[in-house]
A and B are shown apart, each in its own frame.
Chain A
Amino acid sequence: MFAAIARRLAGMLAVMFIVATMVFFLTRLAPGDPASLMLGDQATAADIAELRKTYGLDQPVVVQYLLWLKEIASGNLGQSIFLQRPVLQAIGERAEPTFFLALFSILIASLIGIPCGIVSAVWRGQKADQAVSGLAMLAASIPSFWLGLLFIQFFAVRLGWFPVAGYGDPGAGLAQRLYHLILPATVLGIVNSALITRFTRASMLDVLSEDYVRTARAKGLPENRIVLRHALGNALVPIITVVGLTAALLVGGAIITETVFGLPGIGNLVVSAVLRRDYPVIQGALIVIAGIYVVINFTIDVIYTLVDPRVKT
């Protein structure tokens, strides 16, 4: 079994390596030079050259690449050109809103998606199933930023129930923070619930057609116990997989929502870095985001192998 885990680990590292390489070289392809962007129109060629030297931008690309790889291996993601601080620190400062948003959103998405998926599976083919499936598809067709604008207009501006934007004042308590996240998390929750609904439905349908469910029915057990105890218990693993992976993707994928609601998160950081050609931040953030996804993926796989009682023997 350890061989399997080791293999997965190797695969994971290979993927990260490819991501890093892709990110590095593609970033360099983008037109525009960070040094001149930073110094503005008034800069002289000498100033630009000197700034480039400071950041090692004058070296051949391949050399920069190798140096950078060496840095990453020791955990150093470099220094942001524009923000005057280590990339890791910049990401760390922006991490909180993004992580809370991702967590909150997944919670809402699951609270909507899992029950809907169960209903859909149990009443398969009937009105309830069609209604749920239709609504799920509707939810997946809504652009998150549009829904966000709608929500802001309605709940924040007209009704005044929630703040219009922002993450609260610096130094605000957790409750304040979460209050600011309610609207954006609901938007993301609704839009992401569709996938969870689909997966839950598929997983439940699989389990409900298993022989042991037929046995449970032959035992004369009430249907809701069969669904909730026998079926759901066995259906949970793929559901949790999807939930985990969606959460991981939300870390970097909530950019649009962060923009609409003015949240100072990682997504925002990356977008501004891309626009300013802040290479270290772009590279660092993309690696971190991809890394989170890959690590969660890997962890779920490992847990899968450990937890399935059939694999134990």
Chain B
Amino acid sequence: MTQPAPLLEIENLEVTFRTEAGNVTPVRGVNLVVHAGRTTALVGESGSGKSVTSLAVMGLLPRPAGRISGGSIHYRLKSGEASNLVTLSLEGMRKLRGSEIAMIFQEPMTSLNPVLSVGEQIAEQVRYHTGMGSAAAMRRAEEMLGLVEIPDAVRRATDYPHQMSGGMRQRVMIALAMSCNPRLLIADEPTTALDVTIQAQILALIDRLRREHGMGVLFITHNLGVVAEVADDVTVMYAGEVVESADVRTLFRKPRHPYTHALINCLPAHAKSGSDGRRFVPSIPGTVASAAGAHGCKFEPRCSHATPYCQASHPALETMDGTHTIRCWRWSDL
């Protein structure tokens, strides 16, 4: 089955930060694809570089310390033409933000301006991107608040963020993101800071919006349970690079990279039976290596299948079959 051209295609992305202690590359070797109407999950533990990747796509890397030092980010605009976001000017990138690509963040409690009403914060964006007048923009804001299932939207549009709960605020953030009909939505751990019950609602909301609007969603998370629920495609990151990528079913049924394998084994659903008959949830020994890494495979120190060759030489990302890619020397014999 030939895939239509992807909405977002990241190739060999590399991000460098200048610090007082020297240059640091938290992201090196990220390849990722998002298709319109599908959700791609970007999975990894803290420090894997997934947030930095999303900021790079949005052009929100902290300046002047951070910059994209390599690779390309191809994005298909609403007009149909393709654009390499890495080569865009600052002004060009700014125009895309909010109107073509939108982002929602992890902390709904602090992500909204405390001194402006929620309606005004949405209306402001609408005015800037579409040139609508204030009244029409406010109308649109109320419409968006209704879209994200906030009850009594018209009245709540004049509320201030502190008058709303965490779950409500995240809905406002989503309304904000959707207000200019973006084609790509980047969600950086949107439910991590919320109660479990609210989590399910927000996930369902995002999924519904994706289907109704044909949006592509890049969903960043460290929670495999969430991945299983919402993702169509999954990309796994470790220590700043992609180590495996496949559609969700394949990834869960036949994970090939030792890291992916170990991650899935850590899920309570996959708890093993130990020697004493009690079930336990295994963990992966060791911690993520610092970004200034060594020569060989970055996962090697924690890998139970490592060989001396793995330590000496860094594996490249290879395509196993179709859309399943993997970065490991030993994928064929494991």
Task: Judge A-B direct contact (beta carbons within 8 Å).
Answer: yes
Q: Is the CB of A214 within 8 A of B129?
A: no
- CB of B153 to closest CB in A, whole Å: 19
Docked complex: B87-107 residues within 8 A CB-CB of A: 94-99, 102-103, 105, 107
Q: Which of B108-116, B210-218, B323-331 contacts A (4 or more CB under 8 A)?
A: B108-116
Docked complex: A191-243 residues within 8 A CB-CB of B: 210-212, 214-223, 225, 230, 233-234
- Select which of A210, A217, A313 is within 8 A of B97 by beta carbon: A217
When distances are taken between beta carbons in the complex, the residues of chain B under 8 Å from A309 are 114-115, 160, 162
Q: Is the CB of A125 within 8 A of B64?
A: yes
Q: Is the CB of B128 within 8 A of A220?
A: yes
- Select which of B112, B114, B124, B128 is within 8 A of A310 by beta carbon: B114
Given known A-B contacts A215-B112, A310-B114, A222 and B94 have beta carbons under 8 A apart: yes
In the docked arrangement, what's the CA distance between A215 and B173, Å? 9
Q: Is the CB of B105 within 8 A of A211?
A: yes
Q: From B126, which residue of chain A is reached at the shortest CB distance?
A: A219
Q: Is the CB of A220 within 8 A of B96?
A: yes
When distances are taken between beta carbons in the complex, the residues of chain A under 8 Å from B31 are none
Docked complex: A124-163 residues within 8 A CB-CB of B: 125-126
Decide yes or no whether B58 CB sits under 8 A from chain A: yes
Q: From A311, which residue of chain B is reached at the shortest CB distance?
A: B162
When distances are taken between beta carbons in the complex, the residues of chain A under 8 Å from B111 are 211-212, 214-215
Q: Is the CB of B114 within 8 A of A212?
A: yes
In the docked arrangement, what's the CA distance between A233 and B124, Å? 15
Given known A-B contacts A211-B110, A214-B111, A215-B112, A313 and B103 have beta carbons under 8 A apart: no
- Select which of A215, A220, A230 is within 8 A of B94 by beta carbon: A220
When distances are taken between beta carbons in the complex, the residues of chain A under 8 Å from B58 are 218
In the docked arrangement, what's the CA distance between A219 and B162, Å? 20
Q: From A124, which residue of chain B is reached at the shortest CB distance?
A: B64
- Select which of B95, B107, B114, B160 is within 8 A of A234 by beta carbon: B114
When distances are taken between beta carbons in the complex, the residues of chain B under 8 Å from A218 are 58, 60, 97-98, 102-103, 105
Q: Is the CB of A214 within 8 A of B105?
A: yes
In the docked arrangement, what's the CA distance between A47 and B141, Å? 85
Total count of chain B residues near the partner, CB < 8 A: 29
Decide yes or no whether B290 CB sits under 8 A from chain A: no
Q: Is the CB of A313 within 8 A of B163?
A: yes
- What 1/0 flags go to A273-313 for Cβ under 8 Å of B? 00000000000000000000000000000000000011001
Q: Is the CB of B97 within 8 A of A216?
A: no
Given known A-B contacts A212-B113, A215-B105, A221 and B124 have beta carbons under 8 A apart: yes
In the docked arrangement, what's the CA distance between A217 and B163, Å? 23
Main secondary structure of the interface of A (DSSP, over half): helix
- Select which of A212, A217, A222, A313 is within 8 A of B112 by beta carbon: A212
Q: Is the CB of B129 within 8 A of A220?
A: yes
Q: From B59, which residue of chain A is reached at the shortest CB distance?
A: A217
When distances are taken between beta carbons in the complex, the residues of chain A under 8 Å from B160 are 309
Q: Is the CB of A219 within 8 A of B125?
A: yes
- What 1/0 flags go to B106-142 for Cβ under 8 Å of A? 0100111111100000001100110000000000000
- What 1/0 flags go to A99-138 for Cβ under 8 Å of B? 0000000000000000000000000011000000000000
Q: From A308, which residue of chain B is reached at the shortest CB distance?
A: B114
Q: Is the CB of A212 within 8 A of B176?
A: no
Q: Is the CB of B110 within 8 A of A210?
A: yes
Docked complex: B160-176 residues within 8 A CB-CB of A: 160, 162-163, 173, 176
- CB of B281 to closest CB in A, whole Å: 33
Q: Is the CB of B113 within 8 A of A234?
A: yes
- CB of A215 to closest CB in B, whole Å: 5
When distances are taken between beta carbons in the complex, the residues of chain A under 8 Å from B102 are 218
Q: Is the CB of B162 within 8 A of A126?
A: no
Given known A-B contacts A214-B105, A309-B162, A219 and B173 have beta carbons under 8 A apart: no
Q: Is the CB of A221 within 8 A of B128?
A: yes
- CB of B74 to closest CB in A, whole Å: 20
Q: From B161, which residue of chain A is reached at the shortest CB distance?
A: A212
Q: Is the CB of B110 within 8 A of A310?
A: no
In the docked arrangement, what's the CA distance between A230 and B120, Å? 12
When distances are taken between beta carbons in the complex, the residues of chain B under 8 Å from A220 are 94-99, 125, 128-129
> Which of A214, A215, A221, A223 has most B Cβ within 10 Å?
A215
- CB of A213 to closest CB in B, whole Å: 8
When distances are taken between beta carbons in the complex, the residues of chain B under 8 Å from A310 are 114, 162
In the docked arrangement, what's the CA distance between A215 and B108, Å? 10
When distances are taken between beta carbons in the complex, the residues of chain A under 8 Å from B64 are 125-126
- CB of A45 to closest CB in B, whole Å: 70
- CB of A46 to closest CB in B, whole Å: 71
When distances are taken between beta carbons in the complex, the residues of chain B under 8 Å from A211 are 105, 107, 110-111
When distances are taken between beta carbons in the complex, the residues of chain B under 8 Å from A219 are 97-98, 124-125, 128, 176
- CB of A210 to closest CB in B, whole Å: 7
- CB of A229 to closest CB in B, whole Å: 8
In the docked arrangement, what's the CA distance between A234 and B96, Å? 27
- CB of B81 to closest CB in A, whole Å: 19
Docked complex: A46-91 residues within 8 A CB-CB of B: none
When distances are taken between beta carbons in the complex, the residues of chain A under 8 Å from B129 are 220
Q: Is the CB of A212 within 8 A of B110?
A: yes
The 6 A-B residue pairs with the shortest CB-CB distance, nearest first, are A220-B98, A220-B97, A211-B110, A212-B113, A219-B98, A219-B125
Known: A220-B129, A309-B114. 14 other contacts (CB 8 A): A211-B107, A211-B110, A212-B112, A215-B176, A216-B113, A217-B97, A218-B97, A220-B95, A221-B98, A221-B124, A221-B125, A222-B128, A234-B113, A310-B114
Residues of A that sit less than 8 Å from B by CB: 125-126, 210-212, 214-223, 225, 230, 233-234, 309-310, 313
28 contacts between A and B (CB under 8 A): A126-B64, A211-B105, A211-B107, A211-B111, A212-B110, A212-B111, A212-B113, A214-B105, A215-B105, A215-B111, A218-B60, A218-B98, A218-B102, A219-B98, A219-B124, A219-B125, A220-B98, A220-B99, A220-B125, A220-B128, A221-B128, A223-B94, A225-B128, A233-B113, A233-B116, A234-B113, A309-B114, A309-B160
